[in-house]
Amino acid sequence: MATTEAAQASSIDTATPRLGQNISRTKAVPWYQPEVGSSLTPAGRQLLETYSGIPASEVEDHIYKIRDAAWEIFPWPCVGEFWFISLGLSLHPRYQDLLTRLCVKDASTKLLDLGTCLGQDLRKLIADGAPSEALWGSDYFEEYEAAGHAFFRDADRFHHRFIAADLYDESQESALQKTAGTWDVINIIMFLHIYDWNAQVRACKRILKLLSPEKGSMVIGAQSATTEPGEIRLKPPMVAEGEEKTLYRHSLETFTRMWEEVGKDQGVKLDIWVVYDDEADWKLRVEEEKARGRDRFFAGPTQRRLFFTVTVL
Ligand SMILES: C[S@@+](CC[C@H](N)C(=O)[O-])C[C@H]1O[C@@H](n2cnc3c(N)ncnc32)[C@H](O)[C@@H]1O
């Protein structure tokens, strides 16, 4: 972030989860995958070739180069595993509805991609017809703005659309806080699941405050989930030796309950819609991963992906 550690310390609640700056960038972890493989879908390839103008023969090398640059910013599993080229938002069952809403002429719907990382979901929306003026990204790491431009080669076409901020920073200096109450749609893909229950609840409250209070304002997203919900205490190599970090993996039921509690606390009536991704699809993917020697390392057969919308009534 642009602010100094001292400024952060004074402006952020002491219980705010911090993203460890000293985390190792070693590539000797299971989620730093050597090859992009099936994560590069025809849609991902098409986006890079058509929107970014990358020659077909250079697409894979380009992905590896940008993945390593992004790894240096922060070694997220979604970066190591090439999730960023799977274009997660476009896999959402309500993606087409969102696209239609963004494309309505003069509707001036504003979307914030929170935890945007390389900004792939925004670029996919643009490639599918959404007006770029409707779209913003925000992330804790300001370095992702340049990394996203390098990935999509669109610095000349998609600029001044990045808000560097910590979601948990409620101070008036926060560029994100200045936008409170203005967003029609907030996208959170693979965001909440990196935090424990309490931190997720705080994030959801912040997100509701950023959202416009108008009926129909919506949070849309996806994240890892499980049919056996609970706190997971991470062990090395997922955290550094001696480091303590816990995250909460939701089921459909716990995710719904969390948002119900948040809505009640904030006095906002919400419609909460949550589904797991297709079971048959998921089993097929697990088999494919096994066949390629890429067994999943975060959870067992109870693992799912969860898609949701949370809409202001
Ligand atoms: C697991 S990654 C997912 C990135 C992207 N949405 C995707 O689907 O590929 C989570 C992202 O959220 C950002 N993030 C995490 N905590 C944040 C915070 N407190 N404020 C703002 N961004 C945060 C991270 O820097 C990272 O880019």
Contact present, 173 and 3 (Cβ < 8 Å): yes
Instruction: Indicate the domain borders of the chain.
Output: 5-12+88-312
DSSP 179: G
Atom 13, ligand 1: residue with shortest CA distance: 115
Q: What is the CATH superfamily name and number for domain 5-12+88-312?
A: Vaccinia Virus protein VP39 (3.40.50.150)
CA distances from 196 to 109, 192, 232, 238, 289 (A): 31, 8, 8, 15, 27
Ligand 1 pocket, Cβ-based, cut-off 6 angstroms: 19, 74, 76, 78, 83-84, 88, 115, 117, 139-141, 166-168, 189-191, 194
Q: What is the pLDDT of residues 250-280, one digit of tens each?
A: 999 999 999 999 999 999 999 999 999 876 5
- Maximum average pLDDT range among 8-17, 196-205, 240-249: 196-205
The model's confidence at residue 248, banded by pLDDT at 50, 70 and 90, is very high
DSSP 277: P
Q: Residue 1 corresponds to which tokens in the numbers above?
A: 């972030």
Atom of ligand 1 nearest to the CA of 141: 25
Average pLDDT, rounded, for the chain: 89
How far away, in angstroms, is 106 Cα from ligand 1 center?
30
How far away, in angstroms, is 196 Cα from ligand 1 center?
14
Query: What is the pTM for the complete model shown?
Result: 0.91
Atom 1, ligand 1: residue with shortest CA distance: 190
Residues comprising the chain, all counted: 313
pLDDT for residue 12 = 35
By C-alpha distance, which of 281, 263, 272 is closest to 311?
Answer: 272
How far away, in angstroms, is 220 Cα from ligand 1 center?
15
